[in-house]
Amino acid sequence: MASDIILLGGLQQEFATIEAMVKLYCRAHHKSTSAACPCPDCIEFLDYAREKLDRCPYGEKKPACNRCPIHCYKPEQRQQAKTIMRFAGPRMLLAHPLLAIRHLRLERRPVPDLPQENVSNRQRRKQFSNN
């Protein structure tokens, strides 16, 4: 299950940003109450996003997804992410100002060169568990 994945360093911060955006979107579009937010469809998307963050070949040096040369999301989930971020992005400054500012700074960071092997969060977790 993707919710069991432990994200290291900046990837956890990025997931917190995605999660906040999904909750804003879900409350507005799926009429979820705070007790049932996010809804099952949004939870499924969050699990998918966590898995992709875990497997990102850039690891903690990953660029913002919209600037990344490697598109790891399937087309349907990529469109869903765009829809969520277009809605929630402007609202994040009021709802979660620190997460929003950190995300805006991340988007301005230059895209790193092609990633080295074994720097993904998943590979790092495997290295920690083998030690």
Report domain extents, the chain.
Answer: 2-130
Distance CA 106, CA 25 (A): 21
What are 122's two structure tokens?
């998943």
What are 18's two structure tokens?
């995605």
Chain centre distance of CA 54? 10
List pLDDT tens digits, range 20-32.
999 999 988 987 6
Helical axes 10-29 vs 75-95, angle rounded to 10°: 90
- How much of the chain, in percent, has pLDDT values that exceed 70? 92
Q: Is 110 exposed, middle or buried (0-12, 13-18, 19+ CB in 10 A)?
A: exposed
List pLDDT tens digits, range 42-75.
999 999 999 999 998 888 888 888 888 888 899 9
Residue with tokens 């609202």: 91
The predicted pLDDT at position 1 comes to: 47
